[in-house]
């Protein structure tokens, strides 16, 4: 029946059998006989189990419906490649200014700590001329963008350059009088004094604050240059802001929490649920970033893995209507959101199209063009500033469109492997995972593949289980605690 292997992924969950059809992006429930038959076909087993006439008709019906087809012959090229130049030249709406490469903390897991293939903290700062040129650059390249303009400030610790930030804000109002102007800042909050916080709120800032949990956990990694913990400074500023600013718009804040592998996860979850100050804010949990890390961190301790699965189970029970949202925590919210976004909104894919690209890369610079202190342009703040391959131009020379297209089409480095991969549509690898410093690295990209495929398969199984029990996935798209 099959002259070529069908491009499918088989998996089992809850004693049921499923086919993920890559070409159509569809998940189909089947029975054990057809599952065993297709598994033998994929493995070139001999002999292939026979199907009775009824089941044979089922398989033939799937074939006639365009399912179970062989892998399409595709060329790896991102669908936005031809439009990229126009997007960068005319449709920019967001920019992120690195106002300093210095920081008053020396967080042990920081990407600028020396533990990563990246720059380290230093005294370089963005001068006003570079900042002004960056804002002018955004203005000159945003003629066809929508009404919203977003300007971000990043470091190091950006509040070390608060005077420069104020100057940028004032100039931006003059530059974009007819735009919906919004600002954002990522800060360790040690310098977020009352007047600073009031200024940011008065000027439509979204503020990301770093707090890792209760003092004993926060102060393990988030320390000053002298090794002293920063928890008391951060919480003191937070308390001062809440006391001095009536009706603080908590929706303008998000607390960013990095959970190191040796942290007591249970204490972190309890802190954000019970502390009278931080419980008022939205928070998001992330693990230590291991992209470009010189030495991989220790694996997560078993106890934390158990707690993580427990929190996921609670958010799943909320999805199927068994417990109220108050019994869950925000710890698993991002996973639930990702689950709903990835699988509920997936669309049919035409794999017969000649040009396709695996999931993962965003359009470089479109939503978060990053400008370093010297005016160099990067796709975002997450890539290494010491890697020439990540640079996509400068304020002085403009965009290097050829370089931007290479970043967008990172999958071309692994074209054969990607075109044969069942997780093609769900890949999460952006170009940062393929940073070979002077080139996009095939080896680095391939080294992440098994992790990605394992993660996608687990998510697919979770989706099936939740769907089986009548999960209302829209609950996950707008969770309010």
pLDDT at 295 over 80: no
Is 305 inside any structural domain?
yes
pLDDT at 62 over 90: yes
pLDDT at 459 over 80: yes
How many domains are contained in the chain? 2
| pLDDT recorded at residue 304 | 77
Higher pLDDT, 420 or 72: 420
When mean pLDDT is compared across 15-19, 264-268, 439-443, 452-456, the lowest value belongs to 264-268
Instruction: Examine residue 47 and say whether the peptide bond preceding it is cis (omega within 30 degrees of 0).
Output: yes
| pLDDT recorded at residue 1 | 74
pLDDT tier for residue 156 given thresholds of 50, 70 and 90: very high
pLDDT tier for residue 479 given thresholds of 50, 70 and 90: low
325/272 same-domain check: yes
Report, as an integer, the average pLDDT of 168-182: 97
pLDDT tier for residue 299 given thresholds of 50, 70 and 90: low
202/111 same-domain check: yes
pLDDT at 298 over 70: no
116/59 same-domain check: no
- The helix/strand/coil state of 361 is coil
| pLDDT recorded at residue 288 | 83
Task: Give 426's contacts (C-beta < 8 A, 6+ positions apart).
Answer: 342, 359, 452, 456, 459
Q: In the chain, count H helices and then E strands.
A: 15, 15
Q: Look up the domain containing 182 and give its range.
A: 92-343
Is 233 inside any structural domain?
yes
pLDDT at 481 over 70: no
| pLDDT recorded at residue 297 | 62
118/207 same-domain check: yes
138/255 same-domain check: yes
CA-to-CA dists, residue 106 to 119, 221, 307, angstroms: 14, 8, 29
Are β-strands 355-356 and 369-371 bridged in parallel, bridged antiparallel, or unpaired? Answer: unpaired
| Inter-residue contact 187 to 159 (CB < 8 Å) | yes
pLDDT tier for residue 416 given thresholds of 50, 70 and 90: very high
> Torsions phi, psi of 294, nearest 5?
-65, -35
58/168 same-domain check: no
Q: Which of 309, 343, 377 is the last residue of a domain?
A: 343
Query: Look-up: residue for tokens 């060329």?
Result: 75
pLDDT tier for residue 347 given thresholds of 50, 70 and 90: confident
Report, as an integer, the average pLDDT of 437-463: 96
Please tell me the distance from the alpha carbon of residue 288 to that of residue 299, in angstroms, as a whole number: 11
Angle at 125 between CA 124 and CA 128, to 5 degrees: 145
Secondary structure (H, E, C), 275-312: CCCHHHCEEEEEECCCCCECCCCCCCCHHHHHHHHHHH
46/100 same-domain check: no
Is 349 inside any structural domain?
no
Is 394 inside any structural domain?
no
Report, as an integer, the average pLDDT of 408-432: 96
| Inter-residue contact 111 to 93 (CB < 8 Å) | no
Q: How far is CA 82 from the centre of its chain?
A: 25
Report, as an integer, the average pLDDT of 274-297: 83
Q: What is the CATH classification number for the domain harbouring 269?
A: 3.20.20.70
| pLDDT recorded at residue 271 | 95
Task: Give 169's contacts (C-beta < 8 A, 6+ positions apart).
Answer: 183, 203
CA within 13 Å, CB half, 414: 25
| pLDDT recorded at residue 139 | 97
120/26 same-domain check: no
pLDDT tier for residue 319 given thresholds of 50, 70 and 90: very high
When mean pLDDT is compared across 232-241, 293-302, 324-333, the lowest value belongs to 293-302
Is 472 inside any structural domain?
no
Q: Which two tokens stand for residue 226?
A: 């002298």
CA within 13 Å, CB half, 215: 9
pLDDT at 294 over 80: no
pLDDT tier for residue 37 given thresholds of 50, 70 and 90: very high
- The helix/strand/coil state of 205 is strand
224/267 same-domain check: yes
229/325 same-domain check: yes
CA-to-CA dists, residue 70 to 4, 17, 41, 227, 348, angstroms: 6, 20, 12, 59, 16
47/118 same-domain check: no
| pLDDT recorded at residue 117 | 78
């Amino acid at each position: 029946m099959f002259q070529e292997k069908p491009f499918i992924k088989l998996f089992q969950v809850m004693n049921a059998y499923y086919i993920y059809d890559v070409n159509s992006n569809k998940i189909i429930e089947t029975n054990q006989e057809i599952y065993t038959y297709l598994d033998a076909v994929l493995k070139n087993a001999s002999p292939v189990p026979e199907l009775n006439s009824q089941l044979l008709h089922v398989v033939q019906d799937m074939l006639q419906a365009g399912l179970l087809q062989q892998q399409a012959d595709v060329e790896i090229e991102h669908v936005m490649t031809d439009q990229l130049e126009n997007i960068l030249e005319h449709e920019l709406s967001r920019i992120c200014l690195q106002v300093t490469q210095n920081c008053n903390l020396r967080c042990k897991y920081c990407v600028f700590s020396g533990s990563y293939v990246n720059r380290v903290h230093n005294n370089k700062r963005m001068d006003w001329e570079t900042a002004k040129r960056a804002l002018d650059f955004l203005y000159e390249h945003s003629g066809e963008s929508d009404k919203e303009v977003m300007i971000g400030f990043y470091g190091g610790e950006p509040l070390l350059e608060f005077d420069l930030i104020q100057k940028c804000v004032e100039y931006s109002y003059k530059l974009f009088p007819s735009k919906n102007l919004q600002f954002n800042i990522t800060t360790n909050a040690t310098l977020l004094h009352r007047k600073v916080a009031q200024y940011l709120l008065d000027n439509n800032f979204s503020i990301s604050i770093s707090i890792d949990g209760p003092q004993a956990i926060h102060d393990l990694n988030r320390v000053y240059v002298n090794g002293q913990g920063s928890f008391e400074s951060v919480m003191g500023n937070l308390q001062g802001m809440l006391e001095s600013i009536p009706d603080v718009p908590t929706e303008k804040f998000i607390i960013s929490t990095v959970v190191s592998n040796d942290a007591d996860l249970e204490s972190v979850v309890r802190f954000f649920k019970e502390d009278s100050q931080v419980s008022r804010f939205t928070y998001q949990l992330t693990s230590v970033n291991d992209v470009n890390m010189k030495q991989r961190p220790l694996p997560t301790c078993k106890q934390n893995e158990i707690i993580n699965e427990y929190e996921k189970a609670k958010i799943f029970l909320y999805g199927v209507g068994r417990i109220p949202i108050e019994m869950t925590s925000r710890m698993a919210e991002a996973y639930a959101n990702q689950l709903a976004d990835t699988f509920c909104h997936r669309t049919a894919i035409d794999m017969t199209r000649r040009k396709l690209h695996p999931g993962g890369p965003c359009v470089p610079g479109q939503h978060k063009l990053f400008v370093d202190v010297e005016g160099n342009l990067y796709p975002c703040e997450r890539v290494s500033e010491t890697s020439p391959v990540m640079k996509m131009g400068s304020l002085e020379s403009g965009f290097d469109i050829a370089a931007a297209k290479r970043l967008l089409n990172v999958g071309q480095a692994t074209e054969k492997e990607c075109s044969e991969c069942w997780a093609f549509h769900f890949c999460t690898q952006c170009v940062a995972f393929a940073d070979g410093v002077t080139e996009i690295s095939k080896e680095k990209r391939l080294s992440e593949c098994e992790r990605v495929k394992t993660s996608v398969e687990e998510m697919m199984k979770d989706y099936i289980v939740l769907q089986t029990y009548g999960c209302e996935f829209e609950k996950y798209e707008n969770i309010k605690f």
